[in-house]
Amino acid sequence: MHSGKLVFAQLMEHLPLHAFRRCVAKYPSRYPTLKFSHLDQFLCMAFAQLTFRESLRDIETCLRAYASKLYHLGIRGGVARSTLADANEKRDWRIYQDFALSLIDVARKLYAHDSFGVELANTVYALDSTVIDVCLSLFPWARFQHDQAAVKLHTVLDLRGSIPSFVHVSEGNTTDLTLLDRIAFEPGSFYIMDRGYVDFARLYALHRAQAFFVIRAKANLQYRCLASQPVDKHSGLRCDQRIVLCGRLTDVKFPSPLRRVKFYDATNDKLLVFLTNHFDLSAANVAALYRCRWHIELFFKWIKQHLRIKAFFGTSQNAVKTQVWIAIAVYVLVAIVRKRLNVQSSLHTILQILSLALFEKQPLDQLLAQIMNTNEAPEAVNQLNLFPQISGH
């Protein structure tokens, strides 16, 4: 039934345009839309993501080469570098943030029952941030250090499907801890964090929201042991303790008991200590949950390699945030299509095929059904082999 439609058009049919129109209406602007609509802008930027364009001129050149097919791509306005640049600068980036969040809601429902490596009914999130270096003279608002600039992406990743549930874009010198002030904690969910998020007042707010956390402890943690459970040291576990904090002010900031789990990673010869406010999980599963934090590292690596966010098309905050949120929307859209069409191949493989076939008229389901399953890069797989002794939990 799609034999007469281009692959790009078939892909974009999965966009909820009613939600897109609501987002546009929510943030009205004076920038003209009759000759180049918000949807035209989104489609041009999505094309850039899917075909790995590196600049606005690159986008313009490629799309003009297919001028006779633009209408069939859904692009009704004239494509010009200056027009796209002005739209990215002047149209409110929150339009594309809200639209990406609506796509995320769709994707999370589709992946709600997927496994992520630990048998657990709760929703599990990984929190972290990544820095994208930029030029200080071109991005003066994104100051990182005295002579450097960077854009930081603070992300909360739903481990079921590796779908970002929250993203905040800031200048590079913004502390990671501010992410804990921006998200609404879901009761019963787990939040997995590295040592950079150790702030006991903020962790206690998470605890009072009836959510759970697993976080790697700092070396100077001061505590008093209340009880200790036996552990199987052959599995790498060293201790499982119930503790209270007794450091300067920490007992005030987090007055409730905590659980301290120590694990020896023989592969990397590292002794790791985790803190959690959940007392019913096995100690092995506490360590396994922290291992799953690597999913967000792989997510950052993946988007930096395969989405166009390392070279920004504009230098203002509005243009940068517009590009980031459209990149995330494209990532989530491909994840939605992958699940709806029951494609087993990785997102990386699907994107590689789409980048070459956007102007074909082959039915999308047939195109993706022909993809052979391929293994991920060896180093990506190796990163997920942390704590191999408990990988079966």
Read off the pLDDT band of 254 (50, 70, 90): very high
Looking at the predicted structure, is the pLDDT value of residue 383 above 90? Answer: no
pLDDT in tens, 338-370: 999 998 887 778 888 888 888 888 888 888 887
Q: Does residue 131 register a pLDDT over 60?
A: yes
Q: Tens of pLDDT along 259-276?
A: 999 998 888 888 999 999
pLDDT at residue number 307: 60
Interval 64-112: pLDDT, tens: 887 777 877 778 777 888 888 999 999 999 999 999 999 999 999 999 8
In 10 A of CB 315, how many CB atoms? 17
Residue 2's pLDDT is what?
52
pLDDT at 347: 79
Residue 306 has pLDDT above 70, yes or no: no
Question: Given a cut of 70, is residue 380 above it in pLDDT?
Answer: no
For the chain, give the percent of residues with pLDDT over 70: 91
Question: In this predicted structure, what is the pLDDT of residue 3?
Answer: 55
Choice between 143 and 47, residue whose per-residue pLDDT is larger: 47
Compute the average pLDDT of residues 30-41.
Answer: 80
pLDDT at 370: 78
Query: What's residue 309's pLDDT?
Result: 63
In this predicted structure, the answer to whether residue 32 has a pLDDT above a threshold of 50 is yes
pLDDT, greater one: 239 or 119: 239
Tokens 């243009």 locate to 319
For residue range 3-26, list pLDDT tens digits in order. 578 899 999 999 999 999 999 999
